[in-house]
Structure 1
Amino acid sequence: MNKAFSFIIISFNEEIHLPRLLASIATLNARVCLLDSGSTDDTLKIAADYGVETAYHPFENHPKQWDYALKHFKINTPWTIGLDADQIVSPELLELLKDFKDEDFAHVNGIYFNRKNVFKGRWLKYGGYYPFYLLKMFRTGKGSSDTSENMDHRFMVPEPTIIWKNGHIIEENLKENEISFWIAKHNRYSDLVADEEIERMQALRMQSEKPEFFGSPNQRKAWFKKIWWDLPRYWRPFFYFIYRFIFKLGILDGKNGVIFHFLQGFWFRLVVDIKIEEKLKQGGVKHYVHGE
């Protein structure tokens, strides 16, 4: 059994994805724990076939689900790796993990992997989607889930951290090949984001990460989000889409890439802004301080 690290995965009806992920890490001989939120397909059977330890917890949002997972599973290896079921470990990352020794990283608390995002079979190389660094590996007991957001999930650790630029995880949600699934999913997400932003207007919710442009990838994302929240609603989806499509060359990602950048960069964020206005008119916020 691998003595350096263990894996934690969260799942819900992931029979289409889980075999792919588990096969990609099988040769590492590491402990794998899976937190499921009530799958009705063969997810748990597949996990059992691979010898995966499983537990159940009802789903509220991704950050809270990860928070429960980190606290529930008693990891006894010095490092923990957290992966979503629709991600796989690339051959390059697999080699880095095979060679990993705790003593070589005594000064480090966390390691960022580099994500390759695939939509409808197309790797999104542009539009700000690559390189894209995610903190996925961290010292056990040092890492936590950032529950200050409703939708976007990230792990947090005290600095120092490092980046494995060639340590790729490949993320491809095959369910999203059906566009109606993608739209329904992001319609649900838009409610979470709208509620979250209204709470930020009331100063009921604060960022956990320190916003720094020249900081870690997490701190840099926090800096951009701080700018985003100060931009005028309805205009900011337009600005963001132009930034991704033109300045970050999203137009070069081909037909499926263009569809993704339009839906994720413009449509989704416009729906969020519309829902914020609707919720405010319904009295969702008592003290509105966002410029209206």
Structure 2
Amino acid sequence: MSEAVDVVVIGAGPAGLSAALNLVRARREVVLIDGGRPRNAATLASHGFLSRDGISPLELRKLGREEVAGYPGATVVDRVNVTSVVRSGDGLLVRAQARGAAEPLEWRAAAVVVATGLTEVMPALPSLRAFYGTALHSCMACDGYEKADRPIALIGETDDLAEQALLLSAWSRDLVVFTNAIGEVGGADEARLGELGIRVERRAIADIEGDRAGMTGVRLADGEVVAREGGFLRPRYATALEFLDGLAPAADDDGLLVVDPEGRTAVPGLYATGDVTPPGPQQLIVAAGAGARTASAVHRDLLRVALGG
């Protein structure tokens, strides 16, 4: 039997937690579904979150979950994967499966908020994960300060590496941009970077060098090692939204859900917030703010329906 609730929030990152918290405070019955696999799990510290600068992202999630769960209108379910969201009468039916459980879960909701975030697709380097979250990061705004004036790398296979390198130069100009023989940096952009003392390395990468003390360099396919103490990755991003196939919400060219400024999709009752919406990856505090804004829209829309408006 499916349980009837006001809202199901799918995803327990900053955007989903913020949406759920504001909705339960609006006296809504809310189910918060946490898949238990956050994108930033490898990161030791989160930065730029007011009053929580330097906190572990896992601790931030833990605190947020506890705050949501402390309200009587909230139900938090952990290690659960949503399998489908489909139309059911005037609302939506959410089907899910808890890992290790035989029986599926179902909720009938007046509204569903998708806050599932993104998956990072990294360059295929054997030792990359060993240094990710400590020496290597993907968010300059989050971790650039800690790399200030150090010899660092920017590694990516995208066509915006020059733009990213210019942004990164605010923290350090002792910078080498590695395209791994795939990323694109035009001649004019390379000249502009060169004026700042930033080198572009176009050869293929074999691996990341280092030991338990940390990263020491980038080893190229021809054997040369370029000494670097850390740096930033420019991953590609992917969504995992197959559970919405039955509703077919609009998405942009990057697979991000198209929403209005308050998080409404074109599907009645379906909302999205955080990294899964344009422009994509955001600082934690920005995602949390987006979740709060979407929660306000959900509450007002449900109230309008209840009052016959």
- Relative to the length of structure 2, the TM-score reads 0.25
| Larger relative contact order (CA 8 Å, sep ≥ 6) | 2
Larger radius of gyration: 2
Name the structure with the higher helix share. 1
- Relative to the length of structure 1, the TM-score reads 0.26
Name the structure with the higher strand share. 2
